[in-house]
Amino acid sequence: MDALKKRRLSLMKRLVTLILIIIILWASSAGSEVSISSLIDGLPGMGSLFLEMLPPDWSYFSYVTDPMLETIRMAIIGTTYGAIIAIPFALLSSRNVVKWPVIYYPFRFVMNLIRTIPELLLAALFVPVLGIGDNAGIMALSVFSFGVIAKLAYEAVEAIDNGPLEAMTAVGANKIQWIFYGVVPQVIASFVSYTLYCFEINVRAAAILGYVGAGGIGLYLNNTLKLFQYQRVSTIIIYTLIVVVIIDMISNKCREKLI
């Protein structure tokens, strides 16, 4: 009897969930002008756009190498700044380093707030402040990577082994020694790995930041798109893909070695 009731209840739950999902999907498609017919009508247009992109303008490769390097440079500097700012924040928002909730909750709150804003929005905000160019992109990437690295790092700090820390307290280490010899050696590998991971994300992000005026190759993407030079657009896209894949590969190798 009891089993039957339970079964009926779980069936009801599933039914309610299914209905809820269907309602959400229906409301979303009603509210956003989805039409399969326009997709089918538009596919030839998309196809002709693809054809216009071929063949890529190979001579443009050497022309966009400089902005490509600039993009990578932005990602490197942005990630580094972000990682450096993330260190104190990660320590101050871990429960086992700072014992008082009054301190670690506000720090976590700031981190969560920053992580809600996508990097392109940050770039759009920094462009009016720092002017059009690399600096806006670097600052946007720094703030963004700060959010990501600090979050991952504080979770790593909270997961460390308590034994060495207790031993150090027992022999009378002060707080700074405690952090340097107890906490840091345990989290340094994962911290570097998270930074590399964030660097991978940042290279991808940096490639489109120029679209809002924050430097890098995105600026050229925007210009060529506006001038309908689709062969050059495809050159830029292919170039970005190659660079991203190579950087991902290197970074993955490094991360595998670290952990």
Partner 1 sequence: MNETIRKKRIMRRIKIWTSVIIIAVIYIWAFSGMPAMEFKPSAVQAIKAIFSGLIHPDWDYFYDPEGEDLLRTLLETLYIAVLGTFISSILCVPFAFWAARNMNKYQFVSSIGKFVLSAIRVFPELILALLFIAAVGTGPFAGILALGFHSIGMLGKLFGESIEDMDFSSSEALKSCGANKIQTLWFAIVPQVMPSFVSFTLYRFELSVRAATILGIVGAGGIGAPLIFALQGHKWDRVGMILIGIIVMVTIIDYISATIRKRIV
Site for partner 1 in 14-33 (CB under 8 A): 24-25, 27-29, 31-33
| Positions in 163-182 near partner 1 (CB under 8 A) | none
Q: Does 204 bind partner 1 (CB under 8 A)?
A: yes
**Cα(160)–Cα(143) distance, rounded to whole angstroms?**
26
DSSP per-residue codes, 130-193: H-SSHHHHHHHHHHHHHHHHHHHHHHHHHTS-SHHHHHHHHTT--HHHHIIIIIHHHHHHHHHH
The single residue among 64, 77, 153, 198 that binds partner 1, judged by CB under 8 A, is 77
Number of amino acids touching partner 1 (CB under 8 A): 55
CB atoms within 10 A of CB 235: 23
Smallest distance, partner 1 to C-beta of residue 8, A: 19
Half-sphere exposure at residue 2, Cβ-oriented, CA atoms within 13 angstroms:
0
Residue 237 has which token pair?
């896209």
What is the rounded end-to-end Cα distance, in angstroms, of the chain?
52
Burial environment of residue 40 by CB neighbours within 10 A (0 to 12, 13 to 18, 19 or more): exposed
Q: Which is nearer to partner 1, 50 or 180 (CB)?
A: 50
- The nearest distance, CB 215 to partner 1, in angstroms, is 9
108-127 binders of partner 1 (CB under 8 A): 112-113, 116-118, 120-121, 124-125, 127
Residue 73, interface with partner 1 (CB under 8 A)? yes
Pick the closest to residue 209 from 249, 240, 234 (CA basis).
Answer: 240
CB of 169 to partner 1, least distance (A): 31
Least separation in angstroms between CB 112 and partner 1: 7
Which positions touch partner 1 (CB under 8 A)?
A: 24-25, 27-29, 31-35, 38-39, 42-43, 45-46, 49, 69-70, 72-73, 76-77, 80, 112-113, 116-118, 120-121, 124-125, 127-131, 133-135, 138, 204, 207-208, 211-212, 221, 225, 237, 240-241, 244-245, 248
